[in-house]
A and B are shown apart, each in its own frame.
Chain A
Amino acid sequence: GQNIDQPTEMTATEGAIVQINCTYQTSGFNGLFWYQQHAGEAPTFLSYNVLDGLEEKGRFSSFLSRSKGYSYLLLKELQMKDSASYLCAVTDSNYQLIWGAGTKLIIKP
């Protein structure tokens, strides 16, 4: 079966750095997405990786290793507003989007 694993919950301190990991086992691969979802709000698109390596976008970076079936989302200079759930999703060989259950990130002062 197809599966995406990410930690259920993480806690970090304001101003620090946190890395949220995502591992996937899917039938083929056509790209990996990260979304942010604040409580009671819509998921919003953060990043897209289709080739190996690091994509940087401001305080957020996303890394992909296709050979390892692994990605991470790196958040730097954490702010209280970064408290949210972070969803990892993979497009498989049939162009179906497979979703992880999300990682709830709690930022403490």
Chain B
Amino acid sequence: GENVEQHPSTLSVQEGDSAVIKCTYSDSASNYFPWYKQELGKGPQLIIDIRSNVGEKKDQRIAVTLNKTAKHFSLHITETQPEDSAVYFCAASLNYGGSQGNLIFGKGTKLSVKP
């Protein structure tokens, strides 16, 4: 089955710097890659996602890149702000006929943005 590895487990950056979180997946058939942000005491919230027919997607300060050949995808946050501090999870999903596309998550990255 699918396995998702996520690095680093913790990341500390200065406000205004960029943060990059990387994930690799094992099943080349996976075709959907969401990123979730989890703040303390809350459930994971989708912040951006990418499908396998696209190499890059951007939404304001957040971007995701996907390299299908290498089976890795990355989250890029530019101009980080203290409110970006949270745990970020990558996930992979295989959407095929009959599947609900259940998500396989990475272990999470705790991002700390220092003012």
Partners in one complex: no
Contact residues of B with A, CB < 8 Å? Answer: none
Contact residues of A with B, CB < 8 Å? Answer: none
